[in-house]
Structure 1
Amino acid sequence: MAETPSASSPYPPSYYAASRNIIRTPRTLAGEVAADICVVGAGYSGLSAAISLAENGFKVVVVEGAEVGWGASGRNGGQVVNGLNASLGTIERRYGQQTANFVGGLLQEGAGIIYDRVARYGIECDLKRGNIYAAYTHKHMAELEAKKALWSRHGMNDHELLDRSQVREHIGSDVYAGGMIDHSGGHMHPLNLALGEAAALESLGGVIYEHSPVTRVEQDASGAIVHTAGGRVKAKTALVCGNAYLGHVVPELTARVMPVSTQMMATEPLGETRAKALLPSDMCVEDVRYILDYFRLSADHRLIFGGGVVYGGTDPADVVAKLRPNLDKVFPQLRDVKIDFAWSGNFALSFSRVPQLGRLGKNVYFAHGYSGHGVTGSHLFGRILGEAVRGDMSRFDTFASLPWIPFPGGRLFRAQYSTLGSWWYALKDRLGI
């Protein structure tokens, strides 16, 4: 069954939960409180928007159904990868050159927000620079060459192409035909980033209520009222940032995105020598297939390896059984290694693969649908939400004006439709076409 946050939801049994460096004492909302801004969801989107607003003097309250970073923000691969799921070329074909120029100008901004906040607030999350796109075929390499050229035309010149021998210097595997480094990307401990951002928000006077699942969001002439199981927040403005774990709390948003689960596992500690042989430059890696693998090293020299999708947000019966063959293919030298942790997490997929920003009435804004690129996208869109609340609607309106496309088959059959599509693309991956 797909997960939904509740007042008693613990963190999933992930490596991140076991190694988090801040243990919070959650505060639960009881009764009525007032704020300038009420943010629904204490993940990256909500925390990014809340910090942006608190830095500008707003009284911000965040309500979270479980705990800070309980959803995708605390379970993801920990990779700071620039860009949206939909490529710049796709955006140009769909929406025109002007929109592509606009999007191209902000694709690296999300990563910059992360780097700035980690430095500004002293967040300890094992942040390191550099990510690699790995190519299996010459066709993949041609795609990376085109991507490098396109991004360069938009002023992004942080990419370095790698041939087969060069990629071997960064990844201790013989399966790749080449790759490309994005020196502006990186990786980190995602739950510790979320927990550090929560602490930063509280240092600015923001208040976070956890174990306080939202039941409904209303509007009246004076603003928004966010109801929880034990109280409510009266605010001038509400920001809905529940993403894949919002459920049916805001019915207008339910059909716009679909929860999709992805799986991860962490090996036992490998020791510095063995770990360095796998990833000598300690960059994170994702391949460029449609159904991709992604992996990196943790600070204590584990390999964190992820991949696969399940449309509809359900968890596979055995995560290790699903991922282990992929791990053994990339790193056959790890066949004897024990897996210490395995877990799943949901991201919100939009049919267009472009995140959605919007407004429900006068006083409720939302952001969701990062489609697997949420680490950087959520930080960027959180900032843009903050800009809109402060009266600068320019970037918000550009995204809000992009048409959203409903999933074929509607809510009932969208997962089946998407699964059929993924089978086709997975077949193309296997055939190298």
Structure 2
Amino acid sequence: MNAHAAHEVRGTGYPGSYYAASANPAPERPALKGVVETEICVVGAGYSGLSAALHLAEKGYKVVVLEGAKVGWGASGRNGGQIVNGLNAGLDVIESRYGAEAAGHVGRMLQEGAKIIRERVEKYDIQCDLKDKNLFTAYNARHMKAFEAKQALWRRHGMDDHEMLDREALRRHIESDAYAGGMMDHSGGHMHPLNLALGEAAAFEKNGGVIHEQTRVVSVDQSGPQPVVHTGNGEVRAKTVLLCGNAYLGYAVPELEKRVMPVSTQVMATEPLGEERAKALLPTDVCVEDARYILDYFRLSADKRLLFGGGTVYGGADPKDIKAKLLPNMEKVFPQLKGVRIDHAWSGNFALSFSRVPQLGRLGSNVYFAHGYSGHGVTGSHLFGRILSEAVDGDLSRFDVFEKLPYLPFPGGRTFRVPYSVIGSWWYGLRDRLGV
């Protein structure tokens, strides 16, 4: 999120959002000062970093996490809160691009991220309003055929949690005339994303981990026998470094900056609707996203607000008026909400890879990275955090699967990645509007 739009919730250190306004209490974590030595240094206290750090702390490693702002300050604390299984790139794309063996490896992992989230919530009693199921909606017959193909593909990989819904069946879950049908994923879900991150941070600290907030990393020096992570007021000397800054790592590690592009997406929260009005919109309280390339996504919060998101801005810029951008889309889905008050509207960045496949890799022998979830980071980041922890602990089997996938650079490099992506977005957006 760009500084000009980051209106802080008073006294929290977080950009303005419904999540920040309803966050669970959390301690102040002091910034790093001076020199610290540890086994593992994790850069970034979002889902990837917290997942890896917690797994490693549970195994007995001494772990220090450095966060440039606050725990969950980036995409992990601002996203739509939807637990959507799989990656941005479908298994069919992975198979056609990288082969059946790669698709088989990925297929066995597709639901693991969601399982990790549920395990963490149960084990550490994380209060994040966790609910089950997510719904994919179709605007036309083409979308329904794509859902049927996905259901069949996932079944071939041993997963059978998708239920096809015709228009009438869909109306039991969402009171809208906008859709032709849909597909329910019974293993999906939704939750309060910032409270999940805060709960995972507390769990990490209970296992002996240390988090330094307001500690921006400026560089990582690999010239010596062990990497040194430099910050504004100190440094961490570690045996192993995990880079998990994703869209917010910036230029601290130049080798990674060019691999992904920040893309902003927007969310808004209505006023509390009350139990009756909220249930009239989403009777079964599932979260929803549609099948378009530039999609809408929405769900109910614990206090019965409609949280409605969508849209993308390549390069990470924020639209001038988030409400004006999202309101027409919300009113097309729910015309009965016309005139409802909007209490919160915010934006945040995710990291887009050109292949839409997340990237795992190494810089040298003991600096690892994970990034590029391309809008599917809630589950992917938890999975990749676990895989990073396995690699540090000596098991590289799953890490190697992703590290070996060819890295595809953005055409035209850093200079032309935004205009190239905008053109592609315009083309697919046109296809969405034409229904082809």
Mapped partners of 2:430, 2:136: distance in 1: 20
Residue identity opposite 1:18 in structure 2: A
Cα distance, 1:10 vs structure 2: 2.7
- Conserved 8 A contact 1:2-1:312: no
- Conserved 8 A contact 2:12-2:20: no
1:262 aligns with 2:277: no
SS of the residue aligned with 1:114? helix
Cα distance, 1:231 vs structure 2: 0.6
Mapped partners of 2:13, 2:321: distance in 1: 20
- Conserved 8 A contact 2:83-2:114: yes
Aligned counterpart, 2:256: 253
Unaligned runs of 5+ in 2: none
Aligned counterpart, 2:157: 154
Identity of aligned residues (%): 70
Aligned counterpart, 2:103: 100
Equivalent in 335, 338, 355 of residue 338 of structure 2: 335
Aligned counterpart, 1:194: 197
Residue identity opposite 1:41 in structure 2: G
RMSD: 1.3
Cα distance, 1:34 vs structure 2: 1.1
Cα distance, 1:86 vs structure 2: 0.3
Cα distance, 1:338 vs structure 2: 0.2
Residue identity opposite 1:374 in structure 2: G
Q: How does 1:202-213 map to 2 (within 5 A)?
A: 202-213=205-216
Mapped partners of 2:26, 2:121: distance in 1: 18
1:307 aligns with 2:310: yes
Equivalent in 39, 46, 53 of residue 43 of structure 1: 46
Aligned counterpart, 1:226: 229
1:140 aligns with 2:143: yes
Aligned counterpart, 1:11: 14
Aligned counterpart, 1:52: 55
Instruction: Give deviations 1:197-227, integer Å, cap 9, x for gaps.
Output: 0000000000000001001011244421111
- Conserved 8 A contact 2:40-2:239: yes
- Conserved 8 A contact 1:22-1:192: no
- Conserved 8 A contact 1:28-1:210: yes
SS of the residue aligned with 1:62? strand
Residue identity opposite 1:390 in structure 2: D
1:165 aligns with 2:168: yes
Residue identity opposite 2:198 in structure 1: L
Equivalent in 75, 83, 88 of residue 85 of structure 1: 88
Mapped partners of 2:162, 2:324: distance in 1: 35
Mapped partners of 1:361, 1:157: distance in 2: 40
Mapped partners of 2:248, 2:141: distance in 1: 39
Residue identity opposite 1:166 in structure 2: A
Cα distance, 1:3 vs structure 2: 4.8
SS of the residue aligned with 2:227? strand
Mapped partners of 2:358, 2:243: distance in 1: 14
Instruction: Give deviations 1:332-366, integer Å, cap 9, x for gaps.
Output: 00002100000000000000000000000011000
Aligned counterpart, 1:181: 184
Mapped partners of 1:387, 1:23: distance in 2: 29
Mapped partners of 1:259, 1:359: distance in 2: 21
Residue identity opposite 2:86 in structure 1: G
Mapped partners of 1:391, 1:22: distance in 2: 36
Aligned counterpart, 2:247: 244
Instruction: Give deviations 1:100-126, integer Å, cap 9, x for gaps.
Output: 111000000000000000000010000
- Conserved 8 A contact 1:133-1:180: yes
Instruction: Give deviations 1:257-316, integer Å, cap 9, x for gaps.
Output: 000000000000000000011111101000010000000000000000000000000000
SS of the residue aligned with 2:313? strand
TM-score, normalised with respect to structure 2: 0.97
Cα distance, 1:2 vs structure 2: 3.5
Mapped partners of 1:388, 1:123: distance in 2: 27
Residue identity opposite 2:107 in structure 1: G
1:76 aligns with 2:79: yes
Q: After the TM superposition, which segments of 4 or more aligned residues of structure 1 sit over 3 Å from their partners?
A: 1-5
Mapped partners of 1:182, 1:212: distance in 2: 39
SS of the residue aligned with 1:198? helix
- Conserved 8 A contact 1:158-1:182: yes
Comparing 24-33 with 355-364, greater Cα deviation is found at 24-33
Instruction: Give deviations 1:216-245, integer Å, cap 9, x for gaps.
Output: 011244421111111111110000000000
- Conserved 8 A contact 1:9-1:66: no
Instruction: Give deviations 1:304-331, integer Å, cap 9, x for gaps.
Output: 0000000000000000000000000000
Residue identity opposite 2:251 in structure 1: H
- Conserved 8 A contact 2:34-2:235: yes
Number of aligned positions between the proteins = 431
